[in-house]
Amino acid sequence: MYEVNTYQTGNTIRLYCTFKIEENGVETLINPDEVTFIVMNHRYEELESYTLDPATNTEGEGLWFFDFTTPLEEGRFIYQWNGYWDNQLFFNRKTILTTFI
């Protein structure tokens, strides 16, 4: 089972992603190219997509963030980070729930 965080509808939250590679048992943080933040509904249909800028959306090598305003409707949403390193797609996908409190 995986962790699902719940947030109030319409709130702005800061979401993070760490991009890294592992070579010979050593993890190295990376800043991939063409980093995007994608929001999908529970059927994995894309709702929003943002292209991120390393000058404004990183807190250091490999640590990316996005200030996301949760949808006004209650439900389950999936967010995904995409980026390319050495022509390989790296992605990280998580689920959030939104509720009216």
5-99 maps to CATH 3.40.50.2300: no
Q: Residues 45-97: pLDDT tens digits? A: 999 999 999 999 999 999 999 999 999 999 999 999 999 999 999 999 999 99
Residue 1 has pLDDT above 60, yes or no: no
Under 8 Å between Cβ of 62 and 31: yes
Domain edges within the chain: 5-99
How high is the mean pLDDT of the chain? Answer: 94
Residue 101 has pLDDT above 80, yes or no: no
Q: Residues 16-57: pLDDT tens digits? A: 999 999 999 999 999 999 999 999 999 999 999 999 999 999
Specify the pTM: 0.90
Tell me, what's the pLDDT at 2? Answer: 61
